[in-house]
Amino acid sequence: MIPVIAIDGPSASGKGTVAQRVAEKLNFHYLDSGALYRIVALSAQFQGIGETDENKLNQLTKSLRIEFKEGKILLNKQDVTESIRSEECGILASKIAAVKSVRDVLMNVQHQFKQHPGLVADGRDMGSVVFPESMLKIFLTATPEIRAQRRYNQLINKGISANINDLLQDILERDRRDLTRKESPLKQTPDAHFLDTSALTIDQAVNQVIQWFSDVSN
């Protein structure tokens, strides 16, 4: 049996950082499922495919060669690690993520990450749809204001100018879309632990996840 830790939550909640650190500590594989939707969005934008063109999006998703290698994300051998992180790409990813046939193609891609000795997967539907058999499920969140502040700090640290009110509006709009879409909406499953990181450091959040994992492993 391969253990899976599913960490789901809204955008900019810090789940990516926490999931990555937990994977490092346990020496598990790590799946950033949001990156897959961002890659489809980037390619669709590049090829001029509209966010509602289901047939073309399905063909496009099937054709992508995606690799996660040494901390880099490659699309058809090109490094897209940074370019998929823009706000614009995140917003388009959230729109394209509502297309069922895109989700179906990415489902198989995601299942391939489940390998020994274990997997930490982060996203919106890891515990509810993609890995319902997960040994540990976590719903990780923070208030929209804190998430906007964290995103703002991230951008400023990278030397990118940002407006906190615009970021907060983007976050609220993305929450609305991710929570209300028909296909695999973001939701806390009854068997998931709730982790509000608004007042926690990254280390505290990581330690809590490791503690829960050790509880279910024993």
Strand partners, 78: 75
Taking CB under 6 A as the rule, which mask of x and - marks residues 121-160 in contact with ligand DC?
--xxx-----------------------------------
Any contact of residue 37 with ligand DC (CB under 6 A)? yes
The residue (of 114 and 174) whose beta carbon lies closer to ligand DC is 174
Any contact of residue 178 with ligand DC (CB under 6 A)? yes
Q: Which of 3, 11, 29, 102 binds ligand DC (CB under 6 A)?
A: 11
> Could you give the CA distance from residue 30 to residue 21 in angstroms, rounded to a whole number?
9
- Yes or no: say if 22 and 153 are a contact pair by the CB < 8 Å rule: no
Q: Which residues contact 200 (CB under 8 A, 6 or more apart)?
A: 208
Q: Of 205, 96, 210, which Cα lies nearest the Cα of 146?
A: 205
For residue 218, the minimal CB distance to ligand DC (Å) is 29
Instruction: Identify the burial level of 164 via C-beta atoms within 10 angstroms of its C-beta, where 0-12 means exposed, 13-18 middle and 19 or more buried.
Output: middle
- Yes or no: say if 58 and 102 are a contact pair by the CB < 8 Å rule: yes
The residue (of 181 and 218) whose beta carbon lies closer to ligand DC is 181
Query: Among the candidate windows 21-29, 59-67, 117-125, 141-149, which touches ligand DC by CB under 6 A?
Result: 117-125
Site for ligand DC, rule CB under 6 A: 11, 33-34, 37-38, 90, 93-94, 97, 123-125, 174, 178
